[in-house]
Structures are given as structure tokens and as C-alpha cells.
Amino acid sequence: MMQALRAARGVRTFFGALFAVAVVMLGTGATMAETSWVVLDADRGVVLAEQGGSRIQPPASLAKMMTLYITFEAIRDGRLRWDDRIVMSRHASMKIPTKLWVKPGDTISVREAVDGMIVVSANDAAAAIGERLAGSEAAFGRLMTRQGRRLGMKHTVFTNPSGLTDGLRQTTTARDMAVLGLALQREFPKEYRLFSQPSLVFRGKRRKGHNNLMYRHDGVDGIKTGYTSVAGYNIASSATLNGHRLIGVVLGGKTARKRDEQMAALLTRFSRQKGVTAPTPLVALAVPVPTPRPPMEVAMDDSMIEQGDGGFPASALTGWHIQIAALPGQEAARALLDKVTKSVRSVHAGASAQIEPTIRNGKTLYRARFEGFDDEATAKRACAVIQRKRLDCIAAESP
């Protein structure tokens, strides 16, 4: 009887501990999923209003704002030139989309890397720049963090140049990201104008940007969007409205549309306020703010795709892909890809697992596929490996 009671107490203790861990994990997830925001008066460098502006959250691809800041600094100091060639390492080339799809050993110019990071949030370009300037992504992350401290980003820790999820180690706040946006405007006014690019042409193919708010809201001229499954939908925006120059940051949006709508509402609301005062400026007024370009009328469809992990990646621009199945659930597609990834990469180490949504007969299906094969023969060899596992596989040329 005593043994049974001890066993029962042990079971209760185990499940009690498990429940406590689950509560902590759920609490952490809830915190990361909460939306926080801040609006900054860019002319005076003061915070007008915020909600959870100092809450710790993941930056997602807003981290590339710091990668770009350090790149601009290197160009200004003569350590980089716009036409310098950056070698794409295998490590950098294997970053998940979105990316420029540059093969290992090939090169891109600094200008192409910068435009790629700004317009399509290219993760491979960010990694390549980080490796060039610091030797490795980790070393560049430390450089980013130190630079952030010098700018006054008190609560931000960077661990890589792309903003891809690194557990919960890579973190920031809405207030810190507003400080970074202001520093980009003031220290690099000429380069800052690059954030207004709606698209880029890379190796003969035009790529459209993700920052749809620039085309929906008059006066908005940048800066950056981001998404990961951990961070949610993030955005940093700059706008001149009613004579006010504002910087807004929203972190943890539930969808891209809701995030954009919240940002538009905040910018509109605070552009109408006059005589708002705030405490000490965040950044000294050192460089004149550039004159914003006129609003652009650009036709762009809404996209389900946001850069970063956890979303639906963009398809490769060239090459071949293989498709294994089209399944009714995203999790099922992910499980299937996880099951065969090792086998596929034994044929081609650079193969990139993808989940692509499609509509059939009014229902959404999720294609489980691998992108990035250099030729038909390699794609078919990968299919042969898959078929030996008694799974379907089709090799096709990417559009």
C-alpha cells in the first residue's frame, strides 16, 4: 500500500512539474505573440506614445536594418565599395527563403546585396555580408549588438544578420527599433532613400518588395517588414504627414494585413496631434532628415508570403524542384518534409524544403517540395531516393 501511495505521489509530482513547465512555455509564447508598438517624432527624436514599447520580442527581419546600418557605415568608412564582390558561401547560400538564390562560390555586388536585403529581405545576402564584414554570422551578431548599444538600443541582442529565429536569444523592443530607424535616417540620409524601392531587377528577373504599406498610405517612404512564426508580423515605418515626420514600429502582429492597418492608424492618429511633448531626445539631431519622395502609385497584389522562417517561402527563380505531395494540412506537409530531408540532401546538400499553398476545387492544399536543384538529372536522382521510400515524387523545372 505504501509503495502504491509513493508511486501515486511521484506521478502527481511529475505531472505537476510538467504542468508548471507548460504554463511557463505558454506564458512565454503568449508574451512573444502580443502586439507592441511605439510612435516617434523623427524631427525631435522623442517618443509620442507607446504600448508595450519596452517589451522584449523577436525582431524577425527588422534585424536587417542593423545589418544595413553596419554595411552603410563600412561604405562610408571605405571598408566596402558599392561594386565590391561578395562571395556567397555554402552556409549563406543554404539560408531559407526569401533569398536571391545565389549558388555557392558565385558573387554578388555590395549594391545587389543591399537592394536584396531591402526589397525582398534576402537572407542569403544578409549572411554573406555578415561573413564578409566579421568572418561569421555569430561574430557579426556580436558586432550588431555592440553597435546597437552605442545607438541607445538598451534591450536588443542580435545573434545573426538576417533575423531568422535563434531560439529566444535574438530579441529587441519596439522602442529600440524606432531608435535604429531614426539613426538610419539621420546618419545615412542618401542611403536611406533606398528603403523606398518597390522592386529590384536581379539577374534579369524583377522581384517585388513586401512593404505594401508604402503603396496604401500616402507619405510612407519605408522602412522594413519582417515575419517569423515566433515573432509574428513586424514592421518599422517612416512617414511625413501633415508636416510631421514620424517613425512607427509594430511588433507581433497577427497577420500582415492587421499589422499594416494598425501602423496606418497610428501614423494617421499622431500626424494630427500638435504640441505633443516628451522627455529627453533618444538620438542627437546631427544629420538633416532627407526630403521624402512623393507617394508612388504601384499596383501590387497582397501576398501570403513574408520573409523569414515559419511562413510560406517564395519559389526559386531558376533551376529545378521536386514535389512529393499536396496535403490538406501545413503540419502534415512539414512532417513529410522532415521525414525525407536527410535523404534528399544526401543527393543535393543545397536542397531547400518548401511548403507552398495552392487552391484546388475551393480547398487549400499545401505542396511539400524541395527547391534549388541545379539540373534535371540531380532532381530526378533525388526523386529516385524518395520513391524508394514508396512515396510519390515529380521533378519539374521551376518558373
pLDDT digits (tens, 9 = 90+) for 221-266: 889 999 988 888 999 999 988 788 899 999 999 988 899 999 999 9
Distance CA 108, CA 202 (A): 10
Q: How far is residue 188 CA from its own chain's centroid?
A: 22
Domain count of the chain? 2
CATH number of the CATH domain containing 331: 3.30.70.1070
Domain identity same for 232 and 333: no
Q: How many residues does the chain have?
A: 399
Strand ranges, E, within the chain: 36-41, 46-51, 85-87, 107-109, 199-202, 205-208, 220-228, 232-241, 244-253, 320-327, 352-360, 363-373, 394-397
3-state DSSP: the chain helix, strand, coil percent, rounded to 5? 40, 25, 35
Q: Exposed e or buried b for every residue in 344-354, given b needs 16+ CB within 10 A?
A: bbebbebbbbb
Model confidence pTM above 0.75: no
Domain identity same for 101 and 219: yes
Q: Are 257 and 229 in contact (CB under 8 A)?
A: no
CATH number of the CATH domain containing 265: 3.40.710.10
Q: Is 95 annotated as a binding residue?
A: no
pLDDT digits (tens, 9 = 90+) for 278-335: 444 444 333 333 333 333 333 333 333 444 443 333 333 346 889 998 888 878 888 8
Task: Measure Cα distances from 156 to 70, 137, 148 in Å.
Answer: 15, 17, 7
Q: Are 168 and 268 in contact (CB under 8 A)?
A: no
Domain identity same for 174 and 265: yes
Domain identity same for 70 and 179: yes
In a domain, 277, yes or no: no
Q: Which active-site residues does the annotation give?
A: 61, 64, 121
In a domain, 385, yes or no: yes
pLDDT digits (tens, 9 = 90+) for 351-370: 777 777 777 777 778 888 88
Instruction: Return the bridge partners of 379, or none.
Output: none
Instruction: Return the bridge partners of 238, or none.
Output: 222, 247
Distance CA 298, CA 126 (A): 27
**Domain that includes residue 102, residue range:** 35-271
Q: What is the mean pLDDT of residues 179-194?
A: 96
In a domain, 288, yes or no: no
